[in-house]
Structure 1
Amino acid sequence: MSEETTTAPLAKRSRSGRTDASRADKTSSTAELSTSTSMQASTWCSTTFGPLLEDSSTHDIVFKTSDGDSVGAHRLIVAAGSPVFRAMLYGNMRESSQKEIDLPTTDTETLNKLLTFLYTGKVDVDSDCIVQLLEGAHYFDIASLVTILVDFFRKSLMVKDIFPILEISIDKSFDWLFELCLEFMYNHAEEVAHDENFRSLSSKVLISFCKSSDLNIRENDLFLAVVEWYKHNQDQVPETVVKIVFQEIRYPLIPTSDLVNVVRPTKMADPGLYTAALEYHLFPDKYEGPQNQIIPRKYQPRYLYKNVTPGFVDVSESPEGLVITRNHHMTRQGYALCLVQVQPTEQRPVHFKIAFKFRSHNGHHVLVTRSYLQYSDSVRNDLYPGEVIGGIDLAKQWECECVGTVSIRGESVVTTIGDVSKVTPIENEIYLCLHMYEPNAEIRFSFL
């Protein structure tokens, strides 16, 4: 993960030292001026106090780190930014009378980053140092840094980073970090469940994961991920624990066809819950199974898409799915193309819905296909940057709504819309290509 520099915002304060909220009714120009002034003040603080950290001739305190190095600083500055340092340097602790203070739990790199933040309000953070920085910020009670790091954790980490951090939180009994990891895993549950490291989760963590209603994942995918976890751990995990894990799957949330064709053949579902789920689909008003089984997950599909022709098409996300609009102002002929990545398996096809409409009745059509070959730079054509291979033509209509499926069959991928299917070879990545010729066209695409 690339390194990121973040800056703590400066609060506006009145002459009394309190945050000034009384100027909210000023004009926008005043607000802009205040923001500019605040940014200038932040820059001034950084350029003024930052060099002091490097000026050893002005240091009046030395910290001894866990790896044996010495790091100089200024008592007043570090005390102002950390209640723990303040108590250590100006309180009744023995360190208040010492010029050298041992920090046996803090390494040099982490301390330097913490001090840089206290002096400048800036911190360089990446996935390799996030745990140490969070630990240090918590230990020294640097609240503003904790806020920045937690925000970075939630927004910037990748799924591959979360598993080693989760192990650290468990090994060191960092409950606060463990909860952060679970929150991240809930929000990225679909990607987490597809990661090979998911199979190595402890049964305790897996049960906590499956219990949550905040999981952003389809129940079908969660069940299959748990089956893979079981296959990987069946020799180490007691059957009583396995039973508890599979009881956390909410079978009524799985479509009937998948219950019969995907869940039943594995023979892993809890028999009573499986039967109750089938009855729920037939007679939902008469369902008598556990109520927690029918609580929906907070599933929202994460769309992985690429706008191939940004000069021709705009793509936006809505709660219902993707909205793809062919720009009305384009005068040159040529297609607009957006790629949506799908991840079917042999056990689980991907179901989708596509709706489109045009504002005119000229030669328009939409292609939904599975394969897209992009031209190299040497033969690039701005109008036609690539070639669509295979596809289903939804032409001859100016407004249409239909459902489709992408499935794996042997060494091929099958794309089906209605009673029309196209078969293409499996490649590394599978895309649906939304291919638009007509200006003033709109496509709405969603997973089912």
Structure 2
Amino acid sequence: MRGMISSKSNTGQALAMQDVNAGTKVDDKHHYSSKSYSSKLIFNLHDLWTSEQLCDVELKAGSYSVKAHRCVLAAASSYFQAMFTSDLMEQKQQVVALPTLKPHILAALLTFIYTGNVEVTAETVQDLLVAADMLQMPDVVVTSSNFLLKQLTPANAIGCYRFAEGHHLDALAQSVWQFLEQNFPEVAQEEEFLDLPIELLLRLLLVLAETVSQCSSDAVDAIKASVPLQ
């Protein structure tokens, strides 16, 4: 019996080899996709960063300096990509100064670049948002903007709108403006309302006038004529 099994096994192998030799097509490709590869890569890059291995550039913000990898910065930020791949003088500099960034904000953004994690607080959100917008890091811009919108109240909405408009954060400004329109009666009772620039006040009054059905068309037209609409 043992010999018969062995014989059959050998026969099967021989037949398989004959099929191959006869030109039977065998699949010679195997596609493999690792679900954990990206997370392992990020972990290893973070480890290289924290141990300052293979770093080829140093970033400075005030008295704070930190080493990093040009290719990682360029992959995470369009700002750094343009800086390190164009003819800008920073392309060859070993130390790149970022004087408009606060040290703790640069540290937070670098942590995001190397880990994908960032902590947003009421104390840091505005500085973080402005810096992320400058460095062209849209994920941080979006999460910081969403944080501000969740904190929005009639008491702080005008200040938030002026902040967004002043830093050309158009998407945030548009969302805050919608909040102002929808909550105008409450906003008008807050202290910030008393410090409104005349142009912004007229724009808000125009919105209010257009929502009041009793308002005459002549009154609306008069307000429109005095408001520099965007």
What TM-score range do you get, normalising by the shorter chain? Answer: 0.5 to 0.7
Aligned-partner SS, 1:105: coil
Aligned residue number for residue 107 of structure 1: 102
Deviations, residues 218-273 of structure 1 (Å, cap 9, x unaligned): xxxx7xxxxxxxxxxxxxxxxxxxxxxxxx365435xxxxxxxxxxxxxxxxxxx5
The answer to whether the 8 A contact 2:159-2:192 is kept is no
Aligned-partner SS, 2:119: strand
Greater C-alpha Rg: 2
- Is 1:252 the equivalent of 2:213? yes
Alpha-carbon deviation of 1:115?
Answer: 1.5
Q: Output the CA distance in 2 between the equivalents of 1:209 and 1:178.
A: 14
Deviations, residues 308-351 of structure 1 (Å, cap 9, x unaligned): xxxxxxxxxxxxxxxxxxxxxxxxxxxxxxxxxxxxxxxxxxxx
Higher helix share: 2
The answer to whether the 8 A contact 2:111-2:118 is kept is yes
Aligned with 2:65 (options 64, 70, 83): 70
Q: Output the CA distance in 2 between the equivalents of 1:104 and 1:49.
A: 26
- Is 1:157 the equivalent of 2:145? no
Q: Report the TM-score when normalising by structure 1.
A: 0.36
The answer to whether the 8 A contact 1:61-1:72 is kept is yes
- Give the ranges of 4+ consecutive aligned residues of structure 1 lying more than 6 Å apart after TM superposition: none
Higher strand share: 1
Unaligned runs of 5+ in 2: 1-30, 222-230
Aligned-partner SS, 2:205: helix
The answer to whether the 8 A contact 1:127-1:161 is kept is no
Aligned with 2:191 (options 188, 193, 196): 196
Q: Report the TM-score when normalising by structure 2.
A: 0.65
Aligned-partner SS, 2:100: coil
Aligned residue number for residue 286 of structure 1: none
Matches within 5 A, 1:77-226: 77-154=72-149, 156-159=150-153, 160-169=155-164, 172=166, 174=168, 176=170, 178-212=173-207
Q: Output the CA distance in 2 between the equivalents of 1:195 and 1:102.
A: 41
CA 1:75 to 1:209, structure 2 compared with 1: closer, same or farther past 3 Å?
same
- Is 1:61 the equivalent of 2:57? yes
Aligned Cα root-mean-square deviation (Å): 3.3
Q: Output the CA distance in 2 between the equivalents of 1:46 and 1:291.
A: 60
Q: Output the CA distance in 2 between the equivalents of 1:41 and 1:290.
A: 66
Q: How many residues align?
A: 187
CA 1:251 to 1:110, structure 2 compared with 1: closer, same or farther past 3 Å?
same
Alpha-carbon deviation of 1:61?
Answer: 1.1
Unaligned runs of 5+ in 1: 1-14, 16-36, 213-221, 223-247, 254-272, 277-288, 294-448
Alpha-carbon deviation of 1:101?
Answer: 0.6
- Of all paired residues, the percent bearing the same amino acid is 24
Matches within 5 A, 1:16-415: 44=40, 47-65=43-61, 67-154=62-149, 156-159=150-153, 160-169=155-164, 172=166, 174=168, 176=170, 178-212=173-207, 248=209, 250-252=211-213, 273=215, 289-290=217-218
